């Protein structure tokens, strides 16, 4: 009994990779053929036959590869699994479960950072908008303050009389004042001299007074003429203003042709005949008409087409 136990202990245990390699060679298969049948890489088959299971990340996959390899070679599953039991790399180890609490905490932390960032951005935008509104209000106030004195100066300047009017009025007042002073001085001198001079000297005083009065009247008339404002000239009964080149024909009520031909831009045609007028315009868009001091509406005529008009 002791000898049997000793022999069993001394017998070396055949590893799974070695067993699979021997069976493959016995059947005459290559590693490439086995890899294609199992849909694995040739390197995986080599590692299994060399009993190198360190590169296999998960022991469950390694045991599954070996079981499929054994099944392909016709080796009993119990025999191949028995050879694997002594190898630590193929033993199943419970995978460590990772908690999602860290991920949740990280997501909460990231969400807080995002909220703070958005809050800062919103505050910056709000401050920028308020600053822009304040700057705009200040600029508008400065513009109003700058334009107000100018408008007041313009209004004051418009209300003030012109230099010619002031000069005319001052000259008129000076002439009247000088005339009155001269008259008073002449009368006083006449009264004083009447007591000392003879009748010949007294008779010359009224002539001097009349001469001074005539000069004052003439001066006042000259100054008054300077102030007279010329009245505006009356507009002709019919006025045609050319804004561009246009062929036209104008006839009066008797059918007499008053104007005909192509007129250029800038020309002005005036007519004072009584009665109606007949007009033919080649380019009505280039013509402005005033009849009896009132503008004639030509917007109803198509540009580029001949317009026939009868006034009134």
* pLDDT the model gives residue 242: 94
Mark whether 171 and 182 lie in a shared domain.
yes
Residues of the domain holding 282:
238-311
User: How many structural domains are present in the chain?
Assistant: 4
Phi-psi region of 18 (alpha: psi -120 to 50; beta: other; left: phi over 0): alpha
In a domain, residue 97? The reply is no
User: Residues 146-150: contacts with CB within 8 Å, 24+ apart?
Assistant: none
In a domain, residue 105? The reply is no
Domain of 40, CATH number, reads 1.10.260.40
Write down which residue in 103, 133, 160 finishes a domain.
160
In tens digits, what is the pLDDT along the chain, a chain of 312 residues? Answer: 445 544 444 455 678 888 889 989 999 999 899 899 989 899 888 888 888 876 545 466 778 888 888 898 888 888 888 777 665 555 544 445 555 566 677 777 888 899 999 999 999 999 999 999 888 877 776 775 665 555 444 454 455 455 444 434 444 554 445 444 554 444 354 434 444 434 444 344 455 546 655 665 565 555 544 444 445 566 788 999 999 999 999 999 899 999 999 999 999 999 988 889 999 999 999 999 999 889 998 888 988 889 999 988
User: What is the Cα–Cα distance from 181 to 173, expressed in whole angstroms?
Assistant: 12
Mark whether 168 and 150 lie in a shared domain.
no
In a domain, residue 38? The reply is yes
In a domain, residue 232? The reply is no
Mark whether 180 and 208 lie in a shared domain.
yes
* pLDDT the model gives residue 59: 64
């Amino acid at each position: 009994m002791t000898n049997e136990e000793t022999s069993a202990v001394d017998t070396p245990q055949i590893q799974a990779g070695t067993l699979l390699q021997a069976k493959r060679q016995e059947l005459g298969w290559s590693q490439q053929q086995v890899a294609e049948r199992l849909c694995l890489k040739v390197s995986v088959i080599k590692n299994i036959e060399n009993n190198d299971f360190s590169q296999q990340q998960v022991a469950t996959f390694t045991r599954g590869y070996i079981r499929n390899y054994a099944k392909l070679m016709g080796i009993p599953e119990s025999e191949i699994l028995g050879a694997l039991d002594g190898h630590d790399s193929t033993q199943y180890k419970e995978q460590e479960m990772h908690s999602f609490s860290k991920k949740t905490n990280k997501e909460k932390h990231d969400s807080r950072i995002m909220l703070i960032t958005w809050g800062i951005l919103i505050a910056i935008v709000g401050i920028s908008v308020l600053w822009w509104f304040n700057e705009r209000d200040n600029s508008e106030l400065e513009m109003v303050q700058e334009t107000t004195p100018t408008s007041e100066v313009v209004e004051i300047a418009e209300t003030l009389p012109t230099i010619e009017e002031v000069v005319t009025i001052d000259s008129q007042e000076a002439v009247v004042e000088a005339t009155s002073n001269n008259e008073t001085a002449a009368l006083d001198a006449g009264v004083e001299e009447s007591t000392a001079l003879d009748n010949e000297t007294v008779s010359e005083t009224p002539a001097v007074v009349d001469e001074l009065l005539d000069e004052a009247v003439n001066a006042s008339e000259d100054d008054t003429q300077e102030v007279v404002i010329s009245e505006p000239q009356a507009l002709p009964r019919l006025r045609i203003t050319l804004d561009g080149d246009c062929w036209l024909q104008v006839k009066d009520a008797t059918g007499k042709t008053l104007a005909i031909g192509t007129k250029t831009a800038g020309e002005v045609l005036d007519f004072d005949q009584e009665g109606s007028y007949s007009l033919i315009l080649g380019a009505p868009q280039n013509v402005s008409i005033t009849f009896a001091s009132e503008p004639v509406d030509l917007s109803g005529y198509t540009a580029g087409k001949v317009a026939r008009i009868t006034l009134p």
